[in-house]
């Protein structure tokens, strides 16, 4: 009896959470996510989820739902010791050849050498907007929070609440902005020793496998989009729900956050596609308008 009434309750709770357009959730991994690649490369340890890369496979998880606007936050402790050749990614993405994508990619390194964090933004299937930074802490020593805030004015990448990148809506200048496709939330770890560490010079040392990244404190607070609903209907609904993410105060960084971003760019940024004139002889359109 007890088990059937609790399963009725779970079914009801699931049904209710699907109906609420903005469902706050600090729930555990299982409620929000599922392994989509190599479920046998996951281990669960209390509130922590470990995902490993070994000589046989990488691994990945994805959100059960898709979202349009809101905020995703996960705490990650990256692969310790020798992580050269490995990439751990945390990202949001829609589907199809014209998809949008917001990426954090953590590029591993040999023991004692710093990780690099690469961010990228894809709009309508086109990326090539890489930025790279080193961090002001060792991301393998402890958990740190990585978040993406997405509303109709901007996409903000944050590390421990410090903004490291802002992608501003410049539709009024004729520049497309990702605001019309529902996105899933993903993380994966894989072998990328053809490019990741020192441009691919340093290969993965498999004698140090398995390479384990650990996750906890999973949070998604956004406008949930049923897969059965068309993107255009989701966009209409999610743009008009008046979600917390559309408060005017979140339409741009505040003064303090602006100072933080300037500090990050001055002290930790080592690559910005906007200043890569060898690669882009004419500066990409949005760079001329994005605040630096």
Ligand X SMILES: *[C@@H]1O[C@H](CO)[C@@H](O)[C@H](O)[C@H]1NC(C)=O
Question: In the complex with ligand X, which residue's Cβ is closer, 185 or 212?
Answer: 212
What is the side-by-side strand order in the sheet with 66-77? 42-45, 48-53, 211-225, 66-77, 144-150, 154-159, 162-168
Question: Is 288 one of the catalytic residues?
Answer: no
- Among 25, 27, 28, 113, interactor with ligand X by CB under 6 A: 113
Beta strands in the chain (DSSP E): 33-37, 42-45, 48-53, 59-63, 66-77, 86-93, 101-107, 116-122, 131-133, 144-150, 154-159, 162-168, 184-191, 211-225, 269-272
Q: Which stretch binds ligand X (CB under 6 A): 30-38, 154-162, 184-192, 193-201?
A: 193-201
Using CB under 6 A as the binding rule, whether residue 79 contacts ligand X is answered as no
The single residue of 31, 47, 95, 105 carrying the catalytic annotation is: 105
Q: How far is the CB of 100 from ligand X (least distance, A)?
A: 26
Using CB under 6 A as the binding rule, whether residue 130 contacts ligand X is answered as no
Angle, vertex CA 182, rays to CA 38 and CA 150, nearest 5: 100
**What phi, psi does 275 have (nearest 5°)?**
-110, 10
In the Cβ-directed half-sphere of 142, how many Cα atoms lie within 13 Å?
A: 6
Using CB under 6 A as the binding rule, whether residue 114 contacts ligand X is answered as yes
Question: Is 105 one of the catalytic residues?
Answer: yes
Question: In the complex with ligand X, which residue's Cβ is closer, 7 or 111?
Answer: 111
C-alpha span between 292 and 261 (Å, rounded):
8
C-alpha span between 209 and 101 (Å, rounded):
29
- Among 75, 88, 197, 234, interactor with ligand X by CB under 6 A: 197
Give the ranges where 46-160 is alpha helix by DSSP (H): none
Question: In the complex with ligand X, which residue's Cβ is closer, 116 or 250?
Answer: 116
Using CB under 6 A as the binding rule, whether residue 107 contacts ligand X is answered as yes
Question: In the complex with ligand X, which residue's Cβ is closer, 191 or 234?
Answer: 191
- Among 109, 147, 188, 204, interactor with ligand X by CB under 6 A: 109
Using CB under 6 A as the binding rule, whether residue 116 contacts ligand X is answered as yes
Residue closest to ligand X, measured at CB? 113
Binding mask 37-66 for ligand X (x = CB under 6 A): ------------------x-----------
Question: In the complex with ligand X, which residue's Cβ is closer, 54 or 252?
Answer: 54
Paired tokens of 280: 């882009």
Paired tokens of 64: 């059960």
Nearest alpha-carbon partner for 140 in 83, 205, 102: 83
Using CB under 6 A as the binding rule, whether residue 275 contacts ligand X is answered as no
Using CB under 6 A as the binding rule, whether residue 135 contacts ligand X is answered as no
Number of neighbouring beta carbons within 10 Å of residue 201:
9
Eight-state DSSP code of residue 8: H
**Signed CA dihedral, 201, 205, 206, 212: sign only:** negative
Q: Which stretch binds ligand X (CB under 6 A): 30-38, 65-73, 111-119, 145-153?
A: 111-119
Residues 198-227 that bind ligand X (CB under 6 A): 198, 206-207
Binding site for ligand X (CB under 6 A): 55, 107, 109, 113-114, 116, 196-198, 206-207
Residue positions annotated with a catalytic role: 101, 105
């Amino acid at each position: 009896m007890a088990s059937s009434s609790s399963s009725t309750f779970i079914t009801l709770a699931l049904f209710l959470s699907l109906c609420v357009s903005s469902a706050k959730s600090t729930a555990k991994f299982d409620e929000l996510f599922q392994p989509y690649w190599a479920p046998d490369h996951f281990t669960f340890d209390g509130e922590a989820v470990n995902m490993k890369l070994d000589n046989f496979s990488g691994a990945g998880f994805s959100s059960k739902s898709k979202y349009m606007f809101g905020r995703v936050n996960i705490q990650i402790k990256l692969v310790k010791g020798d992580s050269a050749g490995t990439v751990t990614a945390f990202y949001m993405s829609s589907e199809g050849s014209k998809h949008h994508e917001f990426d954090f990619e953590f590029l591993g390194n040999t023991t004692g050498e710093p990780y690099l964090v690469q961010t990228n933004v894809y709009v309508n299937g086109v990326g090539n907007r890489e930025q790279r930074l080193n961090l002001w802490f060792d991301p393998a020593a402890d958990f740190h929070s990585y978040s993406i805030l997405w509303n109709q004015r901007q996409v903000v990448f944050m590390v421990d609440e410090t903004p490291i990148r802002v992608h501003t809506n410049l539709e009024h200048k004729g520049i497309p902005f990702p605001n019309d496709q529902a996105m899933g939330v993903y993380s994966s770890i894989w072998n990328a020793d053809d490019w990741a560490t020192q441009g691919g010079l340093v290969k993965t040392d498999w004698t140090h496998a398995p390479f384990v990244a650990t996750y906890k404190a999973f949070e998604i607070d956004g406008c949930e989009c049923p897969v059965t609903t068309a993107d255009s209907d989701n966009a209409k609904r999610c743009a008009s729900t008046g979600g917390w993410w559309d408060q005017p105060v979140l339409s741009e960084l505040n003064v303090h956050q602006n100072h933080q971003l300037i500090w990050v760019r001055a002290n930790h940024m080592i690559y910005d596609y906007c200043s890569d004139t060898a690669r882009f002889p004419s500066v990409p359109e949005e760079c001329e308008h994005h605040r630096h």
